[in-house]
Amino acid sequence: MKLKALIGDREQELLIKLEEGRISAQIGNRVYELEVREIERDCYLFFLHHNVHECRVSERPASKETFDVTIHGRSHAVTIVDPKRLRSGQNSDRHHHGVAEIRAPMPGKVVRVQTEAGETVEKGAGVIVVEAMKMQNEMKSPRAGIVVSINVQAGDTVNAGDVLAVIE
């Protein structure tokens, strides 16, 4: 999954690959191969080579994209921006005709299905919630229309790119 992170006034591009307790994270031109364990809610241990790093993450109540991340005793405000979301706002007119597919942005588990096939939805309405790395991501309708199909149900495991729902 390709993301951008805003840390203070710095912007970093991130490429993250998740695979059963392991993370490959590319930040700029640096690559980190990490083992990750959640030791309690919002508290993680990262194993890098022979070093162990504790990281605490808490969501800011006012924003679903901004987190307080504490590592090595220092707290940082981190805002995660999905470049696809930025582009979809700029190219939203391409969804006015035809079919729009809602795809899983990363591997995860379906937590909630918020609509049913046959229902009418407005642009930006929540359709499905997927949890990945203990963070819930609400997949929203890219356009107003009718839900043609819902391809998952709560509890299903999904892979990046899987079609979760179709809006016409």
Q: Please, where are the H alpha helices in 39-141?
A: 83-90
Q: Looking at the DSSP assignment, which residues form a beta bridge with residue 59?
A: 67
Q: In the prediction, which pLDDT does 83 show?
A: 55
pLDDT, tens digit, 9 for 90 and up, residues 90-148: 334 444 456 788 988 888 899 999 999 999 999 889 999 998 877 888 889 988 999 99
Where is pLDDT greater, at 41 or 88? 41
Quote the CA–CA distance of 32 and 148 in Å, as a whole number.
Answer: 41
Quote the CA–CA distance of 12 and 33 in Å, as a whole number.
Answer: 18
pLDDT level of residue 159 (50, 70, 90 thresholds): confident
Judging by beta carbons within 10 Å of its beta carbon (0-12, 13-18, 19+), is residue 3 exposed, middle or buried? middle
Q: In the prediction, which pLDDT does 84 show?
A: 54
pLDDT, tens digit, 9 for 90 and up, residues 51-75: 999 999 888 877 777 888 899 889 9
Which residues lie closer than 8 Å to 144 by C-beta, 6 or more apart? 120, 121, 122, 123
Q: In the prediction, which pLDDT does 70 show?
A: 92
Q: In the prediction, which pLDDT does 95 show?
A: 40
Whole-model pTM: value is 0.47
Where is pLDDT greater, at 37 or 113? 113
Please report the domains of the chain, with CATH numbers, ordered by start residue: 2-81 (no CATH), 98-167 (2.40.50.100)
Quote the CA–CA distance of 138 and 113 in Å, as a whole number.
Answer: 10
Q: Which string of DSSP letters, residue by residue, matches 41-52?
A: TTEEEEEETTEE
pLDDT, tens digit, 9 for 90 and up, residues 22-33: 888 888 788 989
Question: Residue 151: is its pLDDT beyond 90?
Answer: yes
Quote the CA–CA distance of 52 and 48 in Å, as a whole number.
Answer: 6
Give first-to-last CA distance, the chain, whole Å: 26
Question: Residue 7: is its pLDDT beyond 70?
Answer: yes
